[in-house]
Amino acid sequence: MTTRAPIGQRALTYLLLLAGAVLFAFPMVWMVSTSLKPPEQAAAVPPTLLPRAHYAEIDGRRAEVTLDRELADRPGWWQVTAKDGARERRELPREQIDTRIEPRWGNYPEALDEMGAGRVGFGTFLTNTLIVCVLGVAGTVLSNAMVAYGFARLKWRGRDAFFAVTLATMMVPAPVLMVPLYGVFKELGWIGTLLPLWVPAWFGSAFNIFLMRQFFRTLPEEMSEAARIDGAGEWTIFWRLVLPLSTPVLAVAALFHFLYAWNDFLGPLLYLTRQETFTLAIALQSYQTQSGGVEWPLLMAASVVTVLPVIGLFFLTQRTFIQGIATTGSKG
């Protein structure tokens, strides 16, 4: 029989969890907020969370204005500039300025149009990113599952020693491998293509091998023995028995690699040389610097569009993801 924690303790736990959730969600909220603001409000001091629009009567007509600065010598008066082409500044009392909350949804199509500087569209960047992610996920799942099965269910001389060496590769810093890998890909003629970004995923990784090996060792050995008695070979057992039972851990490995490939910036920066092959991560960087400055609302709008698919994917797969993490045992 289990006893429930006191109400005060549970309330404190929920309060701490809520505070942590708000803290981690705030950068995303601020990014969305900035993406809906006009440029002058993105870096305003003091900052505001909600996008606002200011309207005033200019030359007998209603026009949107920017609040340039408050006049120190005339309290309650602002120096404003109309946004409709009349660039001369006016001085107006605050009560004549109508302020309302007004999101700039037009920032999103403008940001996507300008991301490729008119030469390459957002669809090309998205397609390149999906190619890298999908092919990398397929390679990650298949290659790591086969290697992990060999370490978990097959008995062969030196198995544990080879597994220890495999785990030891996790201690090699990634910068140590950059120059040798670049040389290999250059000799193969892959620089400037998407191949260096997804082909290595087909050769396994120590973390995913360890994760899958631990899961495979929790599966009953009796099922494999029964299949062998029925005449099944190891490939049949692996493909038709082990893999269908290992959906949670395969989903975890696939999700990990998808998130890594989607957000990878260093790989595309090293290997991609033409804008037609850019992924979303590197396209955002080129968009940020193409005009010599940063239009923060447009950059944040493009960033929101880039992040949303990953967030949606996680929410769709979170149950399988949590199940895969929870059921990955530590046997052996």
Q: Is 59 helix (H, G, I), strand (E, B) or coil?
A: coil
End-to-end C-alpha distance for the chain, whole angstroms:
31
What single-letter amino acid sits at 8?
A: G
pTM of the model: 0.84
User: CA-to-CA distance for 112 and 280, rounded, in angstroms?
Assistant: 11
Task: Read off the pLDDT of each residue in 252-279 and give the average, rounded to a whole number.
Answer: 92
Residue 102: other Cβ atoms inside 10 A: 16
pLDDT grade for 44, boundaries at 50, 70 and 90: confident
Is the peptide bond preceding residue 46 cis, with omega within 30 degrees of 0? yes
Q: According to the per-residue pLDDT averaged within each range, which of 44-53, 56-65, 154-163, 281-290 is highest?
A: 154-163
Please tell me the total number of residues recorded for the chain in this structure.
Answer: 332
Tell which residue, 273, 266, 140, has the closest CA to residue 204.
140
User: CA-to-CA distance for 68 and 307, rounded, in angstroms?
Assistant: 33
Least confident of 22-26, 165-169, 229-233: 229-233
Task: Read off the pLDDT of each residue in 159-175 and give the average, rounded to a whole number.
Answer: 92
What single-letter amino acid sits at 123?
A: G
pLDDT at 181 over 60: yes
Q: Is 183 helix (H, G, I), strand (E, B) or coil?
A: helix
User: CA-to-CA distance for 157 and 169, rounded, in angstroms?
Assistant: 20
Phi, psi dihedrals of residue 289, rounded to the nearest 5°: -110, 0
User: CA-to-CA distance for 25 and 44, rounded, in angstroms?
Assistant: 22
User: CA-to-CA distance for 70 and 92, rounded, in angstroms?
Assistant: 10
Q: Edge-to-edge strand order for the sheet containing 98-101?
A: 89-93, 77-82, 61-70, 52-58, 98-101
User: CA-to-CA distance for 278 and 283, rounded, in angstroms?
Assistant: 6
Residue 332 pLDDT: 43
Q: Is 70 helix (H, G, I), strand (E, B) or coil?
A: strand
- The separation between CA 20 and the C-alpha centre of its own chain, rounded to angstroms, equals 20
User: CA-to-CA distance for 159 and 122, rounded, in angstroms?
Assistant: 47
pLDDT grade for 287, boundaries at 50, 70 and 90: low
Task: Kindly report the three-state secondary structure assignment for every residue of 241-280.
Answer: HHHHHCHHHHHHHHHHHHHHHHHCCHHHHHHCCCHHHCCH
**Structural domains in the chain, sorted by start:** 52-101 (2.30.30), 111-327 (1.10.3720.10)
pLDDT at 30 over 90: yes
Task: Read off the pLDDT of each residue in 152-168 and give the average, rounded to a whole number.
Answer: 92
User: CA-to-CA distance for 116 and 277, rounded, in angstroms?
Assistant: 11
Tens digits of per-residue pLDDT, 320-331? 767 666 665 444
User: CA-to-CA distance for 299 and 111, rounded, in angstroms?
Assistant: 7
The DSSP annotation for 273-316 comes to: -SGGG--HHHHHHHHHHTTSS--HHHHHHHHHHHHHHHHHHHHH
Q: According to the per-residue pLDDT averaged within each range, which of 91-95, 193-197, 288-292, 313-317 is highest?
A: 193-197
Longest dimension (CA), the chain: 95
Residue 331 pLDDT: 47
Least confident of 24-38, 40-54, 309-323: 309-323
Query: Average pLDDT, whole number, for the chain?
Result: 87
- The separation between CA 139 and the C-alpha centre of its own chain, rounded to angstroms, equals 20
pLDDT at 104 over 90: yes
How wide is the angle at C-alpha 214 spanned by C-alphas 208 and 218, nearest 5°?
Answer: 140
Residue 263 pLDDT: 92
Q: Is 93 helix (H, G, I), strand (E, B) or coil?
A: strand
Residue 169 pLDDT: 92
